[in-house]
Amino acid sequence: MTKMYYHNEINETVLKEKKIAVIGYGSQGHAHAQNLKESGFDVRVGIRPGKSAEQAKQDGLDVKSVAEASKEADVIMILLPDEAQKAVYEAEIAPNLEPGNALVFAHGFNIHYKQIVPPADVDVFLVAPKGPGHLVRRTYTEGAGVPALIGVYQDATGNAKDLALAWAKGIGSARAGVLETTFKEETETDLFGEQAVLCGGVTHLIKAGFETLVEAGYQPESAYFECLHEMKLIVDLIYEGGFSNMRYSISDTAEWGDYVSGPRVITEDVKANMKKVLEDIQSGKFAKEWLEENANGRPRYNEYKKREQEHPIEKVGAELRKMMPFINAGNRKVVIK
């Protein structure tokens, strides 16, 4: 099996001696900044004035402008939305980089697709948690963590990998396991996972199931429980013990239906489509189109977002969840990127 790195074998001294800047205070930013601070690292947050800057101050962090934080720090982690990174990097971070500094990412997008081209005399590495930022924070406070990938793109100081491991330990990820990868592998697998399986795959599977039942005349409430609510309960069993654990818990009738009907839904055609999605990621076509969409003011993004929010499954779900206050959704923005 591939080498995994865990908490007790990582020496974080190399990062303890550095000044750290976390740029951005959103989903990942708030988690990295707070977890590192509580792990005893010297953290400042670089952020434009606004809502999340106020939040960072309320959370007791040392808040500065992006330029100031970058100038002061030795290790600079960019946790802005991928599509915003290039402009902020060029205007405020690059002019403040010194030889021997480190530039860090939680996703390889901007380096892999050559949006950001750092100077040769800085370390460039990634620490990519395999989970939403709000869970990077929540699991840390519970004494756990979400797994992370690390990868080194440029090792100017000879310390890049040790810094990456120390960062992963500092945010709690080494409690779950840290795996070494490359920017190419992290970028392409992350984009594929979120598009084909985790976000795009799951929502469209749920929606197709819900629509099939409702169009056949069944109650939307029943279709919601069946196709959406129970998804988490089933996935929890898979998460805890794999497919076998889930199949152990369900009825033999459900298990038989899983074997005979699953492949009728997720056919070889679906896999062929997944391969096409992967090809567009590998060729840079997806990245190019997403950057163009941003440059055009996001017309299609906004249209799709509105359409999805208006889908009947969202309406019936909102009503049903009101009656299940223990679910506590809506108060928490959980984002997988």
Taking each helix axis from N to C terminus, what angle separates 160-170 and 27-38, rounded to the nearest 10 degrees?
A: 90
Q: What are phi and psi of 87, to 5 degrees?
A: -65, -45
Would you say 79 or 223 has its CB closer to Mg ion?
79
Residues 174-213 that bind Mg ion (CB under 5 A): 190
Residues 306-335 that bind Mg ion (CB under 5 A): none
Structure tokens at 326: 């223990």
The residues that are catalytic are 107
Q: Consult the annotation and say whether 282 binds a ligand.
A: no
Rg (CA), the chain: 22
Would you say 87 or 197 has its CB closer to Mg ion?
197
Report the Cα 250 to chain-centroid distance in Å: 30
Element of type H or E holding 266: none
Q: Taking the complex as a whole, how short is the minimal distance between the CB of residue 134 and ligand NDP, in angstroms?
A: 7
Cβ-proximal residue to ligand NDP, closest one = 26
Would you say 12 or 190 has its CB closer to Mg ion?
190
Beta carbons of 41 and 19 less than 8 angstroms apart: no
Q: Taking the complex as a whole, how short is the minimal distance between the CB of residue 2 and Mg ion, in angstroms?
A: 19
Q: What are phi and psi of 271, to 5 degrees?
A: -65, -35
79 touches which of Mg ion, ligand NDP, none (CB within 5 to 8 A by kind)?
A: ligand NDP
Q: Consult the annotation and say whether 251 binds a ligand.
A: yes
Structure tokens at 136: 């990077």
Task: Report the relative pairing of strands 123-129 and 148-154 from DSSP bridges.
Answer: antiparallel
52 touches which of ligand NDP, Mg ion, none (CB within 5 to 8 A by kind)?
A: ligand NDP
SS3 of residue 267 by DSSP: coil
CA distance 82 to 201: 21
* Block residue for tokens 């819900």: 210
Q: Consult the annotation and say whether 48 binds a ligand.
A: yes
Beta carbons of 135 and 166 less than 8 angstroms apart: no
28 touches which of Mg ion, ligand NDP, none (CB within 5 to 8 A by kind)?
A: ligand NDP
SS3 of residue 64 by DSSP: strand
Q: Consult the annotation and say whether 151 binds a ligand.
A: no
Instruction: Fill in the DSSP letter of residue 324.
Output: -
* 112 contacts Mg ion (rule: CB under 5 A): no
84 touches which of ligand NDP, Mg ion, none (CB within 5 to 8 A by kind)?
A: ligand NDP
* 337 contacts Mg ion (rule: CB under 5 A): yes
Q: Consult the annotation and say whether 140 binds a ligand.
A: no
CA distance 51 to 62: 15
Would you say 66 or 316 has its CB closer to ligand NDP?
66
Report the interface residues with ligand NDP, using CB under 6 A: 24-29, 47-48, 50-52, 79-82, 84, 88, 106-107, 128-129, 132-133, 335-337
Binding residues, by number, are 25-28, 48, 52, 133, 190, 194, 226, 230, 251
Binding residues for NADP(+), by number, are 25-28, 48, 52, 133
Instruction: Write out the residues near Mg ion by the rule CB under 5 A.
Output: 190, 337
